[in-house]
Structure 1
Amino acid sequence: MFATLLHEIPLQGGDVTDGVVRVGDTVRRPAGQSTPAVHALLRHLEAAGFTGAPRVVGMDSLGREILTFVPGSAGVSVASVTGEALAGVAGLLRGFHDATAGFPLVGHQWASGSNDDAPPQVIGHCDLTPDNVVFRDGVPLAMIDFDLARPTTRLFDVVTTLRHWAPIADPVDRHPLLRDVPVGERLRLFCDEYGVPPRDRRRLLELARLRFHRSYEVMRARAATGGNWARMWAGGAGERIRRASAWLDAHEDRLHGHLV
């Protein structure tokens, strides 16, 4: 076991899951209640020819899931904040949603979380932050960390993604590289590239506000259970959601003008 541990390289970036390591060309992650559902989804994506996600290898002797390692870089960077990168993320998300077609929306145990009130249409990633998109040569090639994936609407997953990529956030809470970006123009660019229809564009900001409210309540409840959720809450996650919601209220008319 000692020799094995020498070859384990801890991977950083996610907020929720500890103990993620790289071993050679694989990633080992602690298994959870939604792991069987996620593995079924990843195998479906592989069969559908979707290349923007890791592949399932199996489980190791410690009960951890084994996935293929996707080489590249993740997180906010000079390359990831460009309009071209944003369009690429929109295309990646659209390709993922399209590839989930035919995957059963019932019959699996998924992670809980905030959601749209409309009937689910696809399996959403529901956590497509910059830390969960792998770039190579300035191009977003794959999404990782499907711990929060679940049945939802296309628009809800779009809104969740734009929360971090537009970003729909108070400038004080944005990464310095995203502090002064034109959010309205980025909303429109993403929606154009994804192909968000007019009826959904008219509802996008309303759903963003609903998501803020529900995410706040979900995170507060999870924080009460301790662990990383409590750490995130203590670190100001709730306050950031509140500030983002207030910023949206103050700028809604201008943002809506870019969308419609």
Structure 2
Amino acid sequence: MSSATYAEPFDSEPEFALIGGEVTEGVVRVGDTVRRPAGFNAPLVHALLDRLEAAGFAGAPRFLGIDAAGREVLTFIPGEVAGRPRPAWIADEERMASVGRLVRAYDDAVAGFVLPEGVRPFAGLGELTEPPGMPPAPPYPVELVGHMDLTPDNVVFRDGQAVALIDFDMAKPVSRVDEVCNMMFSWAPLGDPADADPPLRDVDVPRRCRILADAYGMSDTDRARLVEVAVLRSRRAWYSMKQIAEAQGGGWARMWQEGAGDELKRQEAWLERHGTTIATALTAP
């Protein structure tokens, strides 16, 4: 894992703020690089990006080091990212299918990656224990280090196709069905339509789940597990997000104060009402 000081080019360039995302503040572009504060998962993220570079995976930024201000330096990936208000194109099914293919390519590239000794997920949050009352995690084995924050803010498009993932701060060891579930939360989207981005409020969610599953190449076994995992992840997310908001503050605290916990409760209830329809769409011949 590289954490070397980044050597600035001789000719300095101006900084331009990059707008997007819900949590990380102070992200700027400098020439062909992006500078961002190191997050609570930085050692894992740096090791993961180094692995992706070694694997020749083109769909992620390269980690270049730490600048004189203590910020991460990453390569800038040109393209289009959905900001807010969300553009109408996030409802486009072919764009969405390209997200499924990109996530599969990422997961295949990172399969077999083992965290370096001493590196653990979310180390910057300290020794967190599961909050009282937190329900169990899905009972499926870890298969890879997933991105696990596959929102429209974190997918770069060019010519209408997803070409890169950015912002790996939530990366952690998960199963493949966890990763696909995370993608579906944002892109299907799995949740109460009242909480969806406006272009996604009237879409056919079961159909979009099937498109994503097919584009990813999801196994029959994982298709049968998807709804169960989505419900369990929604239940656990309420506790884990509250805990991170209290420990980290900033954008996490703001999102919690703005009702993210209530939205997660609505998401869980919606999944319990519509899970059978989604499971049927995913597993139909």
Q: TM-score, normalised by structure 1?
A: 0.93
| 1:101-180 correspondence runs (5 A) | 101-105=111-115, 107=117, 108-111=119-122, 116-180=138-202
Cα drift, residue 79 of structure 1 = 2.8
Cα drift, residue 147 of structure 1 = 0.6
| 1:186-205 correspondence runs (5 A) | 186-205=208-227
Question: Within the alignment, does 1:243 sit opposite 2:266 as a pair?
Answer: yes
Deviations 1:138-193 (A, max 9, x none): 11110000011011111101101100000001111111111111100111111111
From 242, 253, 277, the counterpart of 1:220: 242
Question: What corresponds to 2:104 in structure 1?
Answer: 94
Aligned residue identity for 1:18: E
Q: Judge conservation of contact 1:119–1:153 (CA < 8 Å) in 2.
A: yes
Moved more, 28-37 or 234-243: 28-37
Q: Judge conservation of contact 1:37–1:110 (CA < 8 Å) in 2.
A: yes
Aligned residue identity for 1:103: F
Q: How many residues of Structure 1 are paired with residues of Structure 2 in the alignment?
A: 257
Q: Judge conservation of contact 1:105–1:151 (CA < 8 Å) in 2.
A: no
**Distance in structure 2 (CA, Å) of the matches to 1:125 and 1:32:** 15
Question: What corresponds to 1:83 in structure 2?
Answer: 93
Question: What corresponds to 1:15 in structure 2?
Answer: 22
Q: Judge conservation of contact 1:85–1:138 (CA < 8 Å) in 2.
A: yes
Q: Judge conservation of contact 1:126–1:160 (CA < 8 Å) in 2.
A: yes
Question: What corresponds to 2:39 in structure 1?
Answer: 32
Task: Tell me the percent identity.
Answer: 49
Aligned residue identity for 1:91: R
Q: TM-score, normalised by structure 2?
A: 0.85
Question: What corresponds to 1:233 in structure 2?
Answer: 256
Deviations 1:9-68 (A, max 9, x none): 111212221111111111001113422321221121112121110111211001111001
Question: Within the alignment, does 1:257 sit opposite 2:264 as a pair?
Answer: no
**Distance in structure 1 (CA, Å) of the matches to 2:111 and 2:221:** 21
- Provide the alpha-carbon RMSD of the alignment: 2.0
Question: Could you say if the C-alpha distance between residues 115 and 136 of structure 1 is closer, same or farther in structure 2, counting changes exceeding 3 Å?
Answer: farther
SS at match of 1:142: strand
Q: Judge conservation of contact 1:116–1:152 (CA < 8 Å) in 2.
A: no
